[in-house]
Chain A
Amino acid sequence: MTTMKIESFDTLMGPMRDAVISLLLHLADDEFIIGHRNSEWTGHGPILEADIAVSSMAQDEMGHALAYYQMLHELGERDPDTIAFGRKPREYRCASLVCLPKGDWAFTIMRQFLYDAAESIRLTAFTRSTLTPLAQLATKIHGEEKYHLMHGRSWVIRLGDATPDSHARMQKALHELYPHALGLFEPTEYDEELAQAGISPREDDLRAEWESAVAPVLAAAKLSIPDHLQPIYGGRVGRHPPALKELLDNLQLVYNIDPSAKW
Chain B
Amino acid sequence: MTDTQWPIFEVFHQQARGEPHVHVGSIHAPDAEMALLMAKEQYARRQACVNLWVVPASAITATSYSDDDIFERGTDKSYRESWGYKTPKMTSHEATEPRSHGGG
A residues adjacent to B (C-beta < 8 A)? 47-50, 52-53, 56-57, 147, 150-151, 154-155, 158
Is B42 within 8 A of A49, CB to CB? yes
Residues of B close to A50: CB separation below 8 A: 38
B6 at the A interface (CB under 8 A): yes
Is A154 within 8 A of B34, CB to CB? yes
Given A49-B27, A49-B28, A49-B29, does the pair A147, B40 have CB atoms closer than 8 Å? yes
Closest to B40 in A: A147
Is B28 within 8 A of A154, CB to CB? no
Given A47-B6, A150-B37, does the pair A158, B42 have CB atoms closer than 8 Å? no
B33 at the A interface (CB under 8 A): yes
Residues of B close to A154: CB separation below 8 A: 33-34, 37
B45 at the A interface (CB under 8 A): yes
Residues of A close to B76: CB separation below 8 A: none
Residues of A close to B38: CB separation below 8 A: 49-50, 52-53
B41 at the A interface (CB under 8 A): yes
Complex: how many Å from CA A44 to CA B67?
42
A-B pairs, top 3 by smallest CB distance, nearest first, are A49-B38, A53-B41, A56-B41
* Chain B interface extent, by class: 10 to 19
B30 at the A interface (CB under 8 A): yes
Is B37 within 8 A of A53, CB to CB? yes
How far is the CB of B4 from the nearest CB of chain A, in Å?
10
B residues adjacent to A (C-beta < 8 A)? 5-6, 27-30, 33-34, 37-38, 40-42, 45
Q: For the A-B complex with A48-B28, A56-B45, A154-B34 known, give 20 more contacts whose Cβ atoms are closer than 8 Å.
A: A47-B5, A49-B27, A49-B29, A49-B38, A49-B41, A49-B42, A52-B38, A53-B37, A53-B41, A53-B42, A56-B41, A57-B41, A147-B37, A147-B40, A150-B37, A151-B37, A154-B33, A154-B37, A155-B34, A158-B30
Complex: how many Å from CA A28 to CA B38?
26
Is A158 within 8 A of B45, CB to CB? no
Given A49-B28, A49-B29, A56-B45, does the pair A158, B34 have CB atoms closer than 8 Å? yes
Residues of B close to A150: CB separation below 8 A: 37
Residues of A close to B37: CB separation below 8 A: 53, 147, 150-151, 154
Closest to A49 in B: B38
Residues of B close to A158: CB separation below 8 A: 30, 34
Residues of B close to A57: CB separation below 8 A: 41
How far is the CB of B78 from the nearest CB of chain A, in Å?
45
Residues of B close to A147: CB separation below 8 A: 37, 40
Complex: how many Å from CA A239 to CA B63?
64
Closest to A47 in B: B28
